[in-house]
Amino acid sequence: MKPASRLDTQEESRFNMVSPVLKWAGGKRKIASRLIQLMPSEFGTYFEPFLGGAAMFLAINPTDAVLGDVNKHLINFYSTLASTPQELSEALEVLKFKYDSLSSSAQKELFYDIRARFNRQNSATDRSMESQDDSLGRAVDFYSLNKLGFNGLYRENSRGEFNVPCGGKKSFPGFDRQNLMDVAARLNISTLVAGDYGSVVENSKEGDFIYFDPPYIPLTPTASFTSYSKAGFGLVEQENLAETMRNLTGRGVKVMMSNSDTELTRRIFSDFHLETIEAPRVISSKSSTRGNVSEIVARNY
């Protein structure tokens, strides 16, 4: 069994050098060291089927990883970054120069042009003949919407269209080119899968480790489940995830999951060891609701 790289005192500076390149709701960067303390000391292949901003993957830096997400645009971005980091970086530099040279009204217009093109291109049903240039263009648009959209949110309507409004940025957020290359190098030795969590973890085996970071159960009964993708991730999906975790336990796979600290969460995942940690909420539509919140970590070991 191959041990995973771990984040300890000596590695803090290295971890700080390799940062997530996307802003993502529910990102784990600020609590990565705490979560790593709860992970098994060693395991085989690392699986992360709700990849998002990839903060945990970058913190752990495993020697063998299968990474996935139901958001195909996110996986296309990471795949493009892994295969053509230089081209992606250069394209982003060009867009940054263009955006920064525009007036505020023109910047807003550019954002909505990018959003319209992104939705138009992604509505195509047949991508069997998609070229590398198409993938690069979609990756640039995806990154731009992530950086220029309101609060770094990713949200889709019922038609699967990205519908986050312009965030009103006065300049295109800068990025560390070397960090981009470092992230690309780590992704390049991993397997990337665009699909639901079941398809990502289906080949996991005894001794492997899976970290689940699904869309969270709402903190209040009136809150809606996420519209991260048009399919959503509601109560039935949470219950199915718990069943998947039980099945994985029976196969000898080590499993850990993060979720919100609610009575419903504790009920659905009652078969597992539950631990409470404090986590900052860094992306929220209302500044009044940002701050530390209690989260649950469920484990089968």
Q: Which of 178, 205, 239 is the last residue of a domain?
A: 178
Same-domain pairing of 138 and 207: no
pLDDT in tens, 175-209: 899 999 999 999 999 999 999 999 999 999 999 99
Q: Which of 11-15, 22-26, 120-124, 212-216 is the most confident on average?
A: 212-216
- Quote the number of domains for the chain: 2
DSSP tag of 220: S
With respect to residue 185, please indicate whether it lies within any of the assigned structural domains: no
**Whole-number Å distance between alpha carbons of 180 and 193:** 20
> In the prediction, which pLDDT does 221 show?
64
Q: How many C-alpha atoms does 238 have within 13 Å on its Cβ side?
A: 20
Same-domain pairing of 120 and 145: yes
Residue 133 has pLDDT above 60, yes or no: yes
DSSP 192-211: EEES-HHHHHTT--TT-EEE
CATH of the domain at 200: 3.40.50.150
- 36 or 289, which is more confident? 36
- The amino acid present at 29, given as its one-letter code, is R
Same-domain pairing of 167 and 104: yes
User: What is the domain range of residue 243?
Assistant: 9-70+195-299
Q: Which of 147, 178, 209 is the last residue of a domain?
A: 178
Q: Could you tell me the end-to-end alpha-carbon distance of the chain, in angstroms, rounded to an integer?
A: 17
- 280 or 30, which is more confident? 30
When pLDDT is cut at 50, 70 and 90, the band that residue 130 belongs to is low
CATH of the domain at 168: 1.10.1020.10
- 158 or 43, which is more confident? 43
Question: Among 138-142, 211-215, 225-229, where is mean pLDDT lowest?
Answer: 225-229
> In the prediction, which pLDDT does 234 show?
87
> In the prediction, which pLDDT does 231 show?
57
Instruction: Please say whether the beta carbons of 49 and 197 come within 8 A.
Output: yes
With respect to residue 235, please indicate whether it lies within any of the assigned structural domains: yes
With respect to residue 183, please indicate whether it lies within any of the assigned structural domains: no
- 13 or 239, which is more confident? 239
With respect to residue 170, please indicate whether it lies within any of the assigned structural domains: yes
pLDDT in tens, 23-82: 998 889 999 999 999 999 999 999 999 999 999 999 999 999 999 999 999 999 999 999
Share of the chain above pLDDT 90, in %: 73
